[in-house]
């Protein structure tokens, strides 16, 4: 497939946070393939700036070289001033925001008995308070136009663990994602009459650079790894109304693929 300027998201402006690699990168590319003007946001500006491969500028180049339209805007989601600047810069570049995908995350896997308060607060700021604030900022223009989509990237970690099961040090991560899901359903209810759709979606096990770095793919689960294209396709379905609007969902990529008979596109 290639860039379709008249695709499902033609004329739409989309912000994807945490889009320098992995799931965020895939979502940004898939939206651009459907004609969206995409703002790729993260902290990693250039290749080599981070221990993990990938950068905002490399993703933007990939999209623009394929004939799409994208720009990079650096944003540390832990900082309120950066979140404000992200919205303002996007408006200056492309116009009012139609779609926000809250994908950025900072994660530490540490047992509760040893978890430093500073890192707890940072995780909640990036994964809960930041998405809430960005939604508030973006919704100002969405209300004016009577249309908009907010998509929060969650995780199966939000589900309650089995007591006595293997300890992973992921309690704080799970707390953040559970809070993000409750934010999603609550906000969806609040803005339903304004034609703003809000959903949360979990990807399943995708071998992104971050997942590999944390050692989350191992011999016991490697057979459950799914392509990142599946998540990108499911995330596309949640930000357009063709075939019916969707809001207030706690979705899972594999279930979305099956429910809507989606065929994941090859990313440009």
Catalytic residues: 173
- 184, 200 Cβ separation under 8 angstroms: yes
Nearest 5 degrees, angle CA 57-CA 62-CA 63?
Answer: 100
**Cβ(259)–Cβ(209) under 8 Å?**
no
SS3 sequence of 18-59:
CCCCHHHHHHHHHHHHCCCEEEEEECCCCCCCCCCCCCHHHH
| CA-based torsion, 19, 23, 27, 29: positive or negative | positive
């Amino acid at each position: 497939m290639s860039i379709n300027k008249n695709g499902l998201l033609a004329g739409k402006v989309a912000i994807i946070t945490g889009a320098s690699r992995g799931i965020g990168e895939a979502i940004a590319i898939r939206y651009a393939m459907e004609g969206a003007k995409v703002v790729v946001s993260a902290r990693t500006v250039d290749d080599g700036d981070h221990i993990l491969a990938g950068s905002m500028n490399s993703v933007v180049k990939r999209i623009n070289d394929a004939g799409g339209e994208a720009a990079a805007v650096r944003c540390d989601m832990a900082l309120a001033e950066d979140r404000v600047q992200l919205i303002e810069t996007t408006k200056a570049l492309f116009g009012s925001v139609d779609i926000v995908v809250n994908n950025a995350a900072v994660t530490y896997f540490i047992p509760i008995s040893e978890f430093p308060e500073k890192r707890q607060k940072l995780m909640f700021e990036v994964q809960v308070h930041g998405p809430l604030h960005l939604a508030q900022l973006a919704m100002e223009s969405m209300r004016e136009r009577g249309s908009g989509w907010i998509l929060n990237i969650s995780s199966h970690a939000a589900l309650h663990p089995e007591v006595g099961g293997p300890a992973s040090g992921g309690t704080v991560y799970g707390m953040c994602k559970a809070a993000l899901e409750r934010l999603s359903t609550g906000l969806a209810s609040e803005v339903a009459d304004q034609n703003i759709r809000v959903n949360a979606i979990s990807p399943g096990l995708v071998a992104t650079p971050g997942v590999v770095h944390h050692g989350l793919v191992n011999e016991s689960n490697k057979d459950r790894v799914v392509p990142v294209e599946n998540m990108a396709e499911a995330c596309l379905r949640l930000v357009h109304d063709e075939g019916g609007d969707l809001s207030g969902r706690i979705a899972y990529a594999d279930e979305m693929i099956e429910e809507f008979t989606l065929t994941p596109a090859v990313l440009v």
